[in-house]
């Protein structure tokens, strides 16, 4: 038996070998269009994949019930903007921490943390860009400014990293990266408003 958001979902006596085929059919039928899956329960137990495509290895003979819970993508988008605001604060704290490590000449640890900071920042920028492409219906001056400043700063920090000038990198993080991160708070606030208007 399959239940999606509290509603029984009939598969018209189709024979499926594994769980992946069921998931594919649900997607193919459009049941998840403009929605985000938040929870999956298999035989009334929470299910999540330990490795990619694990559902291919779960035979349907072992499955009694499947329950899928979703939320509209628009609602999730507003939640994502709240999370992005938290990420901005984490980026600021991370930059302060890396800057201090470089100033203490703790270079190995600082470089490792710096790489983590760059990864978080890139994921953050990708998520903002994706949401903006989907929901932002008007030109956003703050977004353009923040993107330009961040791009220029990334280039400068990359050059400094190559020259292994750790004190200059610490300065850039403290005096340039932190103010740039602050610009993104306004961008996220604008984006949240755009999403709400789009939903309305």
List per-block mean pLDDT (blocks of 10 residues) for the chain, which spans 200 residues: 88 80 89 84 90 88 91 80 90 95 94 93 89 74 90 94 95 95 91 78
- What's the CA gap between 27 and 134, in Å, rounded? 20
pTM above 0.85, yes or no: no
| pLDDT reported for residue 10 | 82
Element (H, E) at 187: helix 178-199
Instruction: Spell out the domain ranges in the chain.
Output: 2-64, 75-199
Sheet of 2-4, strand order: 7-8, 2-4, 66-72, 35-42, 45-46
- What's the CA gap between 72 and 36, in Å, rounded? 6
| pLDDT reported for residue 13 | 58
| pLDDT reported for residue 12 | 62
| pLDDT reported for residue 137 | 55
């Amino acid at each position: 038996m399959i239940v999606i958001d509290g509603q029984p979902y009939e598969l018209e006596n189709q024979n499926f070998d594994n769980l992946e085929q069921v998931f594919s059919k649900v997607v193919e039928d459009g049941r998840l269009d403009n929605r985000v899956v938040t929870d999956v329960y298999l035989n009334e137990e929470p299910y999540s994949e330990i490795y990619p495509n694990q559902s291919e290895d779960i035979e349907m003979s072992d499955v009694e019930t499947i329950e899928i819970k979703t939320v509209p993508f628009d609602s999730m988008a507003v939640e994502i903007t709240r999370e992005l605001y938290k990420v901005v604060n984490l980026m600021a704290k991370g930059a302060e921490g890396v800057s201090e490590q470089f100033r203490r000449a703790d270079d190995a640890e600082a470089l490792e943390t710096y790489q983590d900071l760059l990864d978080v920042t890139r994921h953050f920028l990708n998520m903002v860009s994706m949401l903006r492409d989907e929901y932002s219906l008007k030109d956003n001056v703050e977004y353009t400014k923040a993107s330009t400043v961040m791009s220029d700063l990334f280039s400068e920090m990359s050059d400094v990293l190559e020259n292994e000038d750790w004190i200059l990198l610490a300065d850039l993080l403290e005096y340039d990266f932190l103010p740039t991160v602050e610009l993104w708070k306004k961008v996220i606030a604008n984006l949240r408003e755009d999403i709400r208007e789009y939903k309305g």
